[in-house]
Amino acid sequence: MRNQPYRITAVCLGNICRSPIAEAVLRDRVVAAGLGDVVVVDSAGTGDWHRGHGADPRSIATLLANEYVLDGHIARQIDHGWFDSLDLVLAMDSTNFTNLQVLAEQAGVEVDLQMLRVFDPALAHLSQPHPELDVPDPYYGGVDGFTDVLAMIERASDGLIAQLPARIGR
């Protein structure tokens, strides 16, 4: 048994759209699976543009409309110092995946880095990083893009949660 919680961090570019949605969905799924006492979920961005800001209002509205909770989210930027305390890092797209690989190398730590959508059973056959595994950035579009992103994240999250007990030794 683990002495510390299993730490999952979802990462996108600015930590205001995709990764906060992933954080809320994954946290909901973790609690529903009865793993809330042993799994911690958070999120970050690779860029610093939105550091210190709240989640995009469209992300919050999409989450609320689908009965997810994301209270008090403040955008943060991941750096190489994070990697020694993370168990699973989930990249939202190929660019984030590549940037996270560089940060992990700088940290000199092996981390389980995955693109979130590799956990979608319909996409699990694709090698990372693959463009079809990208969760597209909805920032410059309308509300429909946020709804599409939520659906992608939900499918992938369900796949991850199915694997999570084996990953944490339960």
pTM of this prediction exceeds 0.85: yes
Number of domains comprising the chain: 1
In a domain, 1, yes or no: no
For the question of residue 12 being annotated catalytic, the response is: yes
Whether residue 145 is contained in a domain is answered as yes
Instruction: Give the structural domain span for 46.
Output: 6-168
Q: Choose, from 42, 120, 134, 137, the residue flagged as catalytic.
A: 137
d(CA 159, CA 104): 25
Active site residue 120: no
- Residue 70 placed within a domain: yes
Q: Tell me which H or E stretch contains 155.
A: helix 143-168
At a CB cut-off of 8 Å and minimum separation 6, what does 37 contact? none
Is 137 catalytic? The answer is yes
CA distance linking residue 33 with residue 158, whole number of Å: 10
In a domain? residue 148: yes
- For the beta carbon of residue 47, count every other beta carbon within 10 angstroms: 15
Beta pairing partners, 114: 90
CA distance 144 to 13: 19
66 belongs to a structural domain: yes
The CATH number of whichever domain residue 132 belongs to comes to 3.40.50.2300
Task: Indicate whether 76 belongs to any domain.
Answer: yes
| Residues contacting 12, CB < 8 A, separation 6+ | 18, 19, 22, 43, 45, 46, 92, 93, 96, 135, 137
List the chain pLDDT tens, one digit each, 170 residues: 456 899 999 999 999 999 999 999 999 999 999 999 999 999 999 999 999 999 999 999 999 999 999 989 999 999 999 999 999 999 999 999 999 999 999 999 989 999 999 999 999 999 999 999 999 999 999 999 999 999 999 999 999 999 999 999 88
- Catalytic pick among 17, 18, 28, 76: 18
Which residue among 12, 58, 117, 120 is the active-site one?
Answer: 12
d(CA 1, CA 22): 26
Domain assignment present for 67:
yes
